[in-house]
Amino acid sequence: MQRILSTQLVAHEHETVTVAGWIHRLRMLKTVSFLILRDAEGLCQVVVSERQARELAEESVVEIVATVTPSEQAPSGVELTSPSIRVLSAVDVPLPFETHRPALSASLPTQLDHAALSLRHPARRRALRVAAAASAGFRTALEAQRFVEIHTPKIVGSSTESGADVFRIDYFGRPGYLAQSPQFYKQLMVGVFERVFEVGPVFRAEPSDTARHLAQYTSLDAEMGFVTDHRDVMATLTRTLDVMMATVAERARVETPKVPSEIPSVSFAEALRIAGAPAGEGDMTPAYERAVGEWAVREHGSEFVYVTGYPMRKRPFYTHPDPADPAYSNGFDLLFRGLEIVTGGQRLHRYEDYVAALTAAGEPLEPYAGYLDGFRYGMPPHGGWAIGLERLVARLLGVANVREVTAFPRDLHRIAP
């Protein structure tokens, strides 16, 4: 007999069907006992005998043959009755916590220690479905705009991008490093396909133990050639975000904010003024970001806001300066609900500009040889961005800690499971 899913039951009233899944909950009331079965698509209620209920355990995997019976009490309008139950995989130890409560009551470390169990909770599943939908929307949007997907090396030979927060690896007896971003590679691939994207892991040996930092996260990277400046990049990002939000709404059934066709944009100097920062402040703090986020809602009804023109000294060496004021950059951040979730900008594209920028930074050229090669052999004006997937999902769902929206997070203290 073909197994059907919980969501299909209503179409099979009065029929005998096979369902299968996990025992989400066992409820023994005075006169009746219920087994709530959980499968990939949802829950269904099964009327069981007290004896059946006593012999079963929550989270055991079962296959049930039963009759679909209309029921006004059952949440879906039907329940399963007269079940015969076959246990496929029995749980015979106490669970460290229950997964059927509205919220997981265990501490976050306990949840993460037992990720294989805590991820089964509906709230955690929803977060991962949102992440999957956001990635899918990202790819759909970019493929429609002629971007080509790439896969770039995660092991690199020099810790060039930012020496400090990098993981060292033993690469066949030589030193290697985990890539902190696909930055250099996606730029080189602009020379091949003009427009590229990658969805992949990036690694930061972040010594900071905060609610928004992970040692590995998923970066949604894009890079595009033949731009006039960073505003072309921002326009493409805005269109991409719009498709991402629509895909999340459709696939994960989560309410998503409207993405304005033109997201409000403020310069770094304006952002500081809005935040009431002291004159001469050199960078945005989380508090300033929150203030600018509130301003964007208040003044423009937008939960998204661009901050452009960060000081060059705060941006990496490959950042293109603002031609009108070279102390400032053609770089931008996108704040979503007051948190930076995207960094992007226009990059340098001429070999001689790279040599000058690295030399000014006191950097030797040799570790960058393979990277500079692409610029020596002709590269168009280009720019791109990186979206932090976990931060986006956390902000979308109003979750305070990125660890709650990550399947098996890695941080300063955690390398398992």
From the list 20-28, 271-279, 289-297, 396-404, the region that binds a copy of itself by CB under 8 A is 20-28
* Site track 269-308 with a copy of itself (rule: CB under 8 A), x = hit: ----------------------------------------
Greatest Cα pair distance, the chain, in angstroms, is 82
Residue number, 68 or 348, with CB nearest to a copy of itself = 348
Instruction: Specify binding-site residues for ATP.
Output: 204-206, 212-214, 340, 388-391
User: Shortest approach of a copy of itself to residue 274 CB, angstroms?
Assistant: 35
How far apart (Å, rounded) are the C-alpha atoms in residues 100 and 125? 12
Q: Coil, strand or helix: which one is 326? A: strand
Residue 127 and residue 393 in contact, taking contact as beta carbons nearer than 8 Å = yes
CA 358 to chain centre: 32
Which helix (H) or strand (E) segment holds residue 176: the answer is strand 174-178
Bridge pairing between strands 148-149 and 195-203 = parallel
* Site track 200-219 with a copy of itself (rule: CB under 8 A), x = hit: xx-x-x-x-------xx-x-
How far apart (Å, rounded) are the C-alpha atoms in residues 101 and 106? 11
How far apart (Å, rounded) are the C-alpha atoms in residues 316 and 331? 10
Residue with tokens 């049930």: 64
Q: Which of 48, 141, 180, 185 binds a copy of itself (CB under 8 A)?
A: 185
User: Shortest approach of a copy of itself to residue 249 CB, angstroms?
Assistant: 16
Residue 66 and residue 46 in contact, taking contact as beta carbons nearer than 8 Å = yes
Q: Which of 46, 389, 392, 394 binds a copy of itself (CB under 8 A)?
A: 389
Residues 130-150: b if buried by 16+ CB within 10 A, e if exposed: bbbbbbbbbbebbeeeebeeb
User: Shortest approach of a copy of itself to residue 113 CB, angstroms?
Assistant: 8
8 is written with which tokens?
A: 């299909």
Contact positions with a copy of itself (CB under 8 A) in 70-89:
88-89
Contact positions with a copy of itself (CB under 8 A) in 341-360:
349-351
Instruction: Specify binding-site residues.
Output: 161, 204-206, 212-214, 340, 343, 347, 388-391
Q: Which of 4, 119, 269, 397 binds a copy of itself (CB under 8 A)?
A: 119
CA 332 to chain centre: 20
From the list 43-51, 134-142, 283-291, 305-313, the region that binds a copy of itself by CB under 8 A is 134-142
Nearest to 415 by CA among 106, 99, 115: 115
Contact positions with a copy of itself (CB under 8 A) in 140-179:
143, 146, 148-158, 167-172, 174, 176, 178
Residue number, 344 or 374, with CB nearest to a copy of itself = 374
How far apart (Å, rounded) are the C-alpha atoms in residues 136 and 407? 17
How far apart (Å, rounded) are the C-alpha atoms in residues 34 and 12? 20
Q: Does 116 bind a copy of itself (CB under 8 A)?
A: yes
With CB under 8 A, what is the number of residues at the site for a copy of itself? 94
Residue 207 neighbours by CB distance under 10 Å: 9
Q: Which of 316, 374, 383, 388 binds a copy of itself (CB under 8 A)?
A: 374
* Site track 23-62 with a copy of itself (rule: CB under 8 A), x = hit: x---------------xx------------------xxx-
From the list 19-27, 47-55, 100-108, 335-343, the region that binds a copy of itself by CB under 8 A is 19-27
